[in-house]
Amino acid sequence: MMPPFETDLLFVAALTFLLAGFVKGVVGLGLPTVAMGLLTLVLAPAQAASLLIVPSLVTNVWQLLAGPRFGTIAIRLWPMMTGIVVGTLAGTGFVRAGGAGWASISLGIALITYAGLGLTAVRFSVPDASERWLGPLVGAATGLVTGATGVFVIPAVPYLGALGLAKEDLIQALGLSFTVSTLALAAALTEAGTLHGMALGTSVAALVPALVGMILGGWVRSRVSEVIFRRCFFLGLLTLGTHLVVRSLL
């Protein structure tokens, strides 16, 4: 028999990753954002990030390998990827003992920022001449947010969207960024002693509902307006982020 806490954790994780996978299936991203936002309502940020590793890694590698030009994109984006690794390893200090409250606040701010960008449909453009120095800075900033919150969309997603990549190249570039972020986060959590056997086993178990959710999301994507869904999604993230910040400050 499993202890009640472990049983409850598996149930919460299953529902969370089913929903997170569903969102990713519909809009192409959002699995770590949704999963971390919901899991940190019942777990410390470092514990929630540990459960994220396997579902995030598998779904993002799947997205990465589905694209047509991995070599070209990897060569173009390697400075940004290097920055992600360095920033993630540096940022994990926020989720260690004594920093859980600040990590929750950081996650809430990241969710609010991400939702605000999505709701306002802000669009950026990066000149070719700026990409060489801006890429590593964006990567480092993304890594710091990843290490502190377990969410790796800010500022990576707006930046990659501003590079003017073709649709399939953009999807593959996002997959590369998310995969590197996940691997760096896994290394940092392992070094910190947070990613241990029990957490890893639960993370493996969470892969099944995440994949089921992705399949369901893909089915819904062809039948429901993505514009309406994305608006509801970002409003939900805005509410969740605000709740995390207010709860941490009280």
At residue 85 the predicted structure's pLDDT band, cuts being 50, 70 and 90, is very high
Can you give the pLDDT at residue 207?
A: 92
For residue 138, give the 3-state DSSP assignment: helix
Paired tokens of 193:
């002693």
Q: What is the mean pLDDT of residues 57-81?
A: 88
Give the whole-angstrom CA distance, residue 231 versus residue 158.
17
* CA gap 234, 250 in Å, rounded: 24
Mean pLDDT of the region 166-182:
88
Q: Which amino acid is at 67?
A: G
Report the Cα–Cα distance between both ends of the chain, in Å, rounded.
Answer: 37
Distance separating alpha carbons of residues 44 and 241, to the nearest angstrom: 15
* 99 pLDDT tier (thresholds 50, 70, 90): low
pLDDT in tens, 22-33: 988 887 778 888
| Three-class DSSP category at 28 | coil
Domain ranges of the chain: 4-249
Q: How many angstroms separate the CA atoms of 142 and 81, rounded? A: 10
pLDDT, tens digit, for every residue of 208-224? 999 999 889 888 877 87
- Please tell me the distance from the alpha carbon of residue 214 to that of residue 208, in angstroms, as a whole number: 10
The stretch 183-204 carries a mean pLDDT of: 82
